[in-house]
Chains A and B, each alone.
Chain A
Amino acid sequence: MSDEVTRSVEAAAWVAAVSAARDEGFDRFDWLDATDDIGRTDTVSVVCQLRARDGAPVRLRTRVPRRGGVLASLAGVFPGAAWCEREAGEGYAVDFGGGDGRRLLLGPDAPEAPLLKDHPLAARAAVPWPGADEPEEGARARRRMVPPGVPDPAIWGERDPSDGQADPEDVATSTSGGRVRRSRDRGAGR
């Protein structure tokens, strides 16, 4: 694998930066996708990888707001990007302006932006997780473990409404699995 180069780009300069990279010789569109930055910043990162003829990749990364983010479409630079934008737009609630806004994968009754990390995986939360066991006497964990992708009940299901909205950092920790944190202890110090 060759060295990866990532360029951070302002959202307003997205299309210009990708065009410039293409003109430098990174003229093959590889992929475009998004990630949710919940717990770090209130943005979604959109990443596009291009390749040069010799195979060297370059990645361009930009950030848009987590809700209602708008980013100009790359379809005018690389027509193939439109397909990836439809997928990323659907999963992460990014509006690729000037692109193809039709839904690609999700049905009409699908939840909005299911790949954002604060979208709870309800089907998983309803199933017992084999990883919750601890070796001792085959018992349930003494420490309460939660599986990746399933929200900590203290953050979601059993959350006391008077605590208000969950802190994005708590949500991020909660959905990455592992040990359930006592969110109350943290809240008291704030």
Chain B
Amino acid sequence: MTATHGRIRLIEDRCTSCMICARECPVWCISIDAHTEPDPASEASRRPRLHNVLDRFAIDWSVCMYCGICVDECPFDALEWNGEHVSPGASLPDLVHQRDRLAPDPGGRPTA
């Protein structure tokens, strides 16, 4: 793994809200909210399956130590190094990045 350990990109359409990254992060700086919805593909069947829908995904860069454990542990390759460093913020809350900044192209492929 040679990529710059800077910002991390969330590829939303791969994320299953499984919580593994949040649980493995040593400094607890990832927070995720999600809810479940019936999977439209299985609605016709007798027992519709549920799938997770991501509501919130945030990384607190003021706490992150850029270790990359979350990138390595995600079973769905939904996290990757973005190649850039985290831009400074005027206050600590500015360093908590939500989906709009972690996944700048929601639902689509990341723009390199």
Q: Which A residues lie at the B interface, using CB under 8 A?
A: 127, 129-131, 133-138, 145, 147, 177
Contacts and interface: CB of A to CB of B under 8 A. Distances in A.
A130 B36 contact: no
11 contacts: A130-B31, A131-B25, A133-B19, A133-B22, A133-B33, A134-B19, A135-B17, A135-B18, A135-B19, A135-B34, A145-B23
Interface residues on B, range: 10 to 19
B32 interface: yes
Contacts of A134: 19
A134 B52 CA distance: 10
B23 A131 contact: yes
A162 to B, nearest CB: 33
B85 interface: no
Contacts of A131: 19, 22-23, 25, 28
B35 interface: yes
- The DSSP consensus for interface residues of chain B is strand
A177 to B, nearest CB: 7
B108 to A, nearest CB: 22
Interface in B46-76: 52, 55
Nearest to A178: B23
B35 A136 contact: yes
A147 B28 CA distance: 10
B73 to A, nearest CB: 12
B22 A138 contact: no
Contacts of B102: none
A108 B105 CA distance: 52
B52 A135 contact: yes
Contacts of A138: 33-35, 55
Given A136-B35, A138-B33, A177-B23, 7 more contacts: A127-B28, A130-B30, A135-B52, A137-B35, A138-B35, A138-B55, A147-B28
A22 B52 CA distance: 57
B83 to A, nearest CB: 26
Contacts of A136: 35-36
B33 to A, nearest CB: 4
A53 to B, nearest CB: 28
A177 B28 CA distance: 13
Contacts of A133: 19, 22, 32-33
